Amino acid sequence: MSNQVQDAYIVAATRLPIGKSGRGYFKNTRPDEMLVKVMQAVLAQAPGLDPAAIEDAIVGCSFPEGEQGMNIARVASVLAGLGPTIGGVTINRYCASGITAVQMAADRIRVGEADVMFAGGVESMSMIPMGGNKPSLSPLIFEKDENIGIAYGMGLTAEKVAAQWKISREAQDAFSVESHRRAVAAMAAGHFDAEMTPFDVVERTPNLADGTVNTKTRTVKLDEGARPDTSLEGLAKLKPVFAAKGSVTAGNSSQTSDGSGGLLIVSEAALKRYNLTPLARFVSFAVRGVPPEIMGIGPIAAIPVALKAAGITAADLDWIELNEAFAAQSLAVLNDLDSKGIELDRAKVNPNGGAIALGHPLGATGAIRAASVIHGLRRTGGKYGMVTMCVGAGQGAAGIFERL
């Protein structure tokens, strides 16, 4: 970007395995504990850095309340041992919260206001349900037809996208099968190893006989949601869950999940001062609004803007993380962009599977997928990568990175 004064470099990027909400790895693990682990892991990847040099921790979270309330960014930075002088702010752009945290941290550096920043995301959908503990919609939403989409459930917006962009049930299910196939293959090949920080899950069960508590620890190293037995035949048996005569099912939707990811972003001066090795450069970011009732098509509006700001074309992208909120909206985005001459190579879109297989811990996803892009580019030798997603209430976001 022509108006920046310096570049922002990513020197560390990692994430935890993604667990199934309500019944998975992290169902009893507090989100602040997940975020603490990510912060500590990021610091471990930059051994020459004085933690006190971090000016601020910016953390995305879609529903920052309950166990992930009280400004979880600041709470976790203290608990992680970063030191009392480091700031912390929790930000919310729903599914794009994590990538927005990266953009905000990078921009602080690019305009010369900071030299070292932490950016990340965290979400426990086990502890905080979709919509939060006490959803409360403004009555003003219902006074104008064009605003009612703000109140729609995400599944209903996917149904509307499927209808408007003519995405068939068969196409959605085939897309979902491929997501699981790629995820399972990537796990078997060890492609997630570089981006993943294992987590020790502590399970506590009461012993009713003697009143003690039995403690068991297990280390989790892989995402929990990918299913090797996913098939077209199996998905075809599932009933629509958002509209009686619809096409969106649990099998062609993203999984509700728990997870966290984080990045350490620095200036060139900090690179030299602390003898750090850059993994990637933050190149550009864009966000655009779309009608709330078809929020899934948000990337269609954001991607061209991010590409233009980066000075590249879609053909230059070597790795694309297109968040699979729903197969319907993912396919609509890809097909619509094709019609506009912005063709995203399908082999480079979610090469390790997407949220349908791996899970979508809302506000954490942008940071998690940023780690995936950076390490994916480094493993394959690609140059440019993009993280993009649709956003609840009608937005799309896209961020572009360059491998160094």
Q: List residues with catalytic annotation.
A: 95, 360, 390
The alpha helices in 166-311, defined as continuous H runs, are 169-189, 232-236, 268-273, 298-310
> What are the tokens at 174?
């085939």
| Residues sharing a CB contact under 8 Å with residue 362, sequence separation 6 or more, in sequence order | 61, 62, 63, 94, 95, 97, 123, 125, 130
Among 254, 259, 257, 255, smallest CA distance to 199 is for 259
Among 317, 295, 367, smallest CA distance to 118 is for 367
How many Å apart are CA 129 and CA 269, to the nearest integer? 42
Contact 176, 355 (CB under 8 A): no
Beta bridge partners of 389: 397
Task: Note the Cα 396 to chain centre separation in Å.
Answer: 13
Determine how many CB atoms are found less than 10 A away from the CB of residue 198.
14
Question: SS3 for 357?
Answer: helix
**The dihedral formed by the CA atoms of 351, 356, 362 and 366, expressed in degrees to the nearest 10:** 10
